[in-house]
Amino acid sequence: MIWFPRILHLLLGGIFVYAGVMKAARPLVFLDDVRSFALLPDPYAALLAMFLPWLEIFAGVAVITGRMRKGGLLLLTASLIVFLIAIGIAWARGTDIRCGCFGGDVESSSYLTLIVRDLLLLGLALICHFWRPSIKMLSDPSNA
């Protein structure tokens, strides 16, 4: 059973590494997606579009490798909360958004789909952050 948390860390970190790489590969498309939320004026939207993909990549790698895992999990959890707030604000305003979560969506994104996906990822991040196998699970050979 000791392998199960490792799989969860690999899954969560891998999702964010993939998302970050897809955004970094097309920075102008991601900038347009950030601007579609109409929450940040330039140059702040541009700074976010340049910085966020690399934050996701480095935090995802930290979660996968275990080096600075707690920091990576904290950054990803905080990012997911901020994403949920941004989506909620855009929804309340009726803003037509493009998520850009995985490198740029061609069309408008569904608020409900984005919220459900981010809540699932947030749940996974919280499980990765707080779940620790018990000593009994680690020492019991039947759990191997």
Q: What is the dihedral of CA 20, 31, 91, 38, to 10 degrees?
A: 150
pLDDT digits (tens, 9 = 90+) for 1-21: 678 889 999 999 999 999 999
- Per-residue model confidence (pLDDT) at position 1: 63
114 neighbors 43 (Cβ within 8 angstroms)? no
As a whole number of angstroms, the distance between CA 51 and CA 64 comes to: 20
Per-residue exposure over 61-97, b if at least 16 CB sit within 10 Å of its own CB, e if not: bbbbeeeebeebbebbbebbeebbebbeebeeeebeb
Lowest-confidence pick of 15-24, 29-38, 43-52, 103-112: 103-112
Residue 144: band (very low, low, confident or very high) from pLDDT cuts 50, 70, 90 = very low
pLDDT digits (tens, 9 = 90+) for 47-75: 999 999 999 999 999 999 999 999 999 99
Task: Delimit the domains of the chain by residue range.
Answer: 3-135
pTM of the model: 0.85
- The two tokens of residue 23 are 């955004």
Sequence-ordered alpha helix ranges (H) in 26-133:
27-36, 44-65, 69-93, 111-130
What's the average model confidence in pLDDT over 83-101? 89
